[in-house]
Structure 1
Amino acid sequence: MTVSTADPGTTTGSALLGDSGSLHRVVEDLAGGVRTIQPVRDALADRELASALSSWNSAPGDPDLFVASLFPEPAQVSHVPFLPKERLLSPREKSAAAEAFARVLESCEFTSGSAVTAFEDAVADLSGMNCAVATGSGTDALVLALRAVGVEPGDEVILPANSFAATENAVFACGAVPVLADVTTPDGNLDPVSVAEHVTPRTVAVLPVHLYGKLADMAGLRAVADRYALRIVEDACQAIGVTGVGRYSDAAALSFNPYKNVGLCGKAGAVVTDSAEIAERCRVAGYHGFEPGRKNVKCEAFGLNARIDNTMAAIGLALLPWTGLRGLRRTYLARRYVEALRPLAEEGVLETPAFAPDHSWHLFPVLVDGGAPARDALRDELALRSRVETDVYYPVLTHRQQTPVRERFFGQARLPRTEWLHDRVLHLPLHAGLSLGEQDRVVEALHAATRPGR
């Protein structure tokens, strides 16, 4: 194959941005045997992606060989783990993180330093937003963003029930009241119609979650928010790099937890926003209420100790170059799952997510026909007979948690679609270190377990 704009086996155009939409297009090209030769933008988060695509373009060959190079097979293992900790980072990433930590160790700038600002600039660039405020965790980012848009004690914030506890805890941390609305099927994201039904005079904000990395209906939620003069903070902790994050909201919270689709070596997060005012409020509230640029001089009565350490920011700068490449791997694996499981989906045995460009593929969910008993039986079958590990995120919905406030806040919650989805969802292994051989084993196990005798 020759490199030519007239070559039907290539695609050209504007520079690839490294966002989910661009990665989706590259994967579709790979699946079709088409070589993408667009230049990749010159950005920290896309450096390894640019290197990989450049290497392929400089020595074009069988696309399958290029794909195989992206997914090295691990040493022989007896089972397929859901998310092996030893493969959270590649050997090259581990070396880069260690070198970054060594530099911080030499300088002893552990908490404050220049890496924080540089990391924030890189995260803002990655997100396509004007401002980023790096935090100690994704939970800190949620709390700061909610406070920055005006959520105060006694206010109500509408959110889904099928998220990690940090979503509701961030609302509680502001002294506000979480109000649960239902979701749409099959994506499990907050339903704008249900949100509108739960608005009261005390409602101040909406807190959608991009579940498993799939962008929620932000245009629909924005329309509801505008109708009732509400603010929107996106829980985008599973959706770093997704096209459209931040477009319809006041601010978005990200998480760089090691288990996320873009993970560091500890807890870290960020608020991204196009509003300099909101960013400034986050900075003040995130560091003891101090006035930015003035040491230990308060301009607010209260603040948290929630900003990122210079140590983790330095490691973040060292690891961000792999962001686009990790996203490419996840996206390719997701498409491969969808295609390989299509026969089961057509038979109604299970439902796979649509392969869409607004997804980070932080997790790969399937919906199992027959509800929780069938789902749990399938999970046991996969584990016992095929030694394939799966998981259920999250095992207990917010309104089913047995906490002291359950009846007070969630006793009247009616969430039929949320509960229907929750009883059927099963998560398959999908991570940047998953090999094609391991994925094949997962697919074969699913076919064997759901289509016995065929």
Structure 2
Amino acid sequence: MTVSTAEPGTFTGTALPGDSSSLHRVVQDLARGVRTAHPVRDTLANQELAKVLSSWDSAPAPVHPDALVAPLFPEPSRAAGVPFLPKERLLSREEKSAAADAFTRVLESCEFTSGPAVTAFEDAVADYLGLPCAVATGSGTDALVIALRAVGVGPGDEVIMPANSFAATENAVFACGAVPVLADVTRPDGNLDPESVAERITPRTVAVLPVHLYGKLADMAGLRAVADRHGLGLVEDACQALGVTGVGQYSDAAALSFNPYKNVGLCGKAGAVVTGSAEIAERCRVIGYHGFEPGRKNVKCEAVGLNARIDNTMAAIGLALLPWTSLRGLRRTYLARRYVDALRPLAEEGVLEAPAFAPDHSWHLFPVLPAGGAAARDALLEDLARRSRVESDVYYPVLTHRQQTPVRERLFGQAHLPRTEWLHNRVLHLPLHAGLSLGEQDRVVEALYAATRRAR
């Protein structure tokens, strides 16, 4: 485990690392009419961000922030409505070209499964995150399973986690033969509450598995303190939080996802475990590749292992796409700030609650909490779609303990999660992705104001 000496979510350096707190600083400066003059840390993930910030130095001043950043948010050719997350805009034209070139190089080498891109990709991810070790995997789910097993989770053990996450979180626990135990969350961020976690600990508890919901960092210092008091492992589900300041600083290991729909996505399934512990990283490599001893071909040192290493093909594509990582984060951060500012009057009137513009956030999703409960939320969703052709979503429509599965009553029948359920009955997600244009975002805001006026 590594612990940062700086407060997570606070950027204090001179060279921008490209993480969430430094991107937050850039956007805050823009809002004040200041262009960030810091140099950008020289990592693969920051290459395109460095070019953009350098180009701003020669732009005329003064200029409205929207005019300065407009080239980063081109208007789509078809603008009949505002889709929630259009798959044709998951990658820019430049990113698609880079990925295609990388795939062509792999085709020519025929190094499809194993090859040099795997280690290079792992090194680049670790370098960007400022952690010593990264182990790339076939998916974010694989990363979760491997990380849990690496910290000692096995059959019959209990792992404490939230109920308001994607199914991969609970499935990773089940895949270890362990039992998910659900704890409540804090409002309004929906992240795991350390006090609720402490109440759920039993002699069978082995690990705590927080989720950085929608990209907002959980209270990792508080969860680390609980885990240390009881001798528990701490694994982060950071699959929506790649690049968030503080990821990996308090935990034993953090799982990342490069699914195409994540805030940093590739051209297929991929993930990684990042950690400050060389020992845990070594265990992850063994568990993730058939239990083979590193450096010895087909010689096992672990009874059971997975076939869960990233392919050289996807790692090569990952290397080609990493240069846009922090620039994609800047786009999301800028859009989030615009939403927060635009929706402030509605929040002040009590019509809805919007998230605070925070430095420890990837803005993977943008949630709002309309007043009035599930019925009012559902009516708003329908109104936006029917009258304004704006797609919104309830991204996780069913909580873990509400899924109709054979284990529901036995494992979750007594679950008491009032804050989780309160949030779930209200949350609505607005479009926010790296390809969203400023004009589309303005239409979302206009539609939201119109719909809430009609509902009063």
Separation (CA, whole Å) in 1 of partners of 2:152 and 2:235 = 11
Separation (CA, whole Å) in 1 of partners of 2:34 and 2:118 = 40
Pair 1:28-2:24 in alignment: no
Tell me by how many angstroms 1:265 deviates: 0.2
Q: What's 2:108 paired with? A: 106
The amino acid that maps onto 1:103 is R
Q: What's 1:6 paired with? A: none
Q: What's 1:56 paired with? A: 56
Structure 2 alignment gaps of length 5 or more: 1-11
> How does 1:342-421 map onto structure 2 within 5 Å?
342-421=344-423
Tell me by how many angstroms 1:35 deviates: 0.9
Separation (CA, whole Å) in 2 of partners of 1:117 and 1:69 = 34
Pair 1:196-2:190 in alignment: no
Tell me by how many angstroms 1:65 deviates: 2.4
Q: What's 1:248 paired with? A: 250
Pair 1:80-2:82 in alignment: yes
Separation (CA, whole Å) in 1 of partners of 2:29 and 2:157 = 48
Tell me by how many angstroms 1:336 deviates: 0.3
Q: What's 2:216 paired with? A: 214
The amino acid that maps onto 2:401 is H
The amino acid that maps onto 2:320 is A
The amino acid that maps onto 1:40 is V
Tell me by how many angstroms 1:332 deviates: 0.3
Q: What's 2:145 paired with? A: 143
> How does 1:156-171 map onto structure 2 within 5 Å?
156-171=158-173
Using the size of structure 1 for normalisation, the TM-score is: 0.96
Separation (CA, whole Å) in 2 of partners of 1:246 and 1:13 = 19
Using the size of structure 2 for normalisation, the TM-score is: 0.96
Separation (CA, whole Å) in 2 of partners of 1:131 and 1:453 = 52
Tell me by how many angstroms 1:13 deviates: 6.3
The amino acid that maps onto 1:230 is L
SS at match of 1:292: coil
> How does 1:229-240 map onto structure 2 within 5 Å?
229-240=231-242
Tell me by how many angstroms 1:254 deviates: 0.1
Separation (CA, whole Å) in 1 of partners of 2:97 and 2:408 = 46
Separation (CA, whole Å) in 2 of partners of 1:409 and 1:126 = 39
Tell me by how many angstroms 1:64 deviates: 3.4
SS at match of 1:365: strand
The amino acid that maps onto 1:359 is H
Give the stretch that moved more between structures: 293-302 or 19-28.
293-302
Identify the match of residue 429 of structure 1 among 428, 431, 437: 431
SS at match of 1:232: strand
Separation (CA, whole Å) in 1 of partners of 2:157 and 2:219 = 24
Tell me by how many angstroms 1:60 deviates: 4.1
Separation (CA, whole Å) in 1 of partners of 2:155 and 2:78 = 54
Tell me by how many angstroms 1:406 deviates: 0.5
Give the stretch that moved more between structures: 220-229 or 421-430.
220-229
The amino acid that maps onto 2:352 is L
The amino acid that maps onto 1:175 is G
Separation (CA, whole Å) in 2 of partners of 1:332 and 1:202 = 44
Q: Are the structure 2 counterparts of residues 276 and 453 from structure 1 closer, same or farther at C-alpha, using a change threshold of 3 Å? A: closer
Tell me by how many angstroms 1:41 deviates: 0.7
Tell me by how many angstroms 1:70 deviates: 1.4
Q: What's 2:135 paired with? A: 133
Q: What's 2:183 paired with? A: 181
Identify the match of residue 275 of structure 1 among 274, 277, 280: 277
SS at match of 1:452: helix
Separation (CA, whole Å) in 2 of partners of 1:126 and 1:141 = 18
Separation (CA, whole Å) in 2 of partners of 1:103 and 1:202 = 49
Seq. identity, %: 85
Q: What's 1:7 paired with? A: none
SS at match of 1:35: coil
Give the stretch that moved more between structures: 281-290 or 444-453.
444-453
Q: What's 2:319 paired with? A: 317
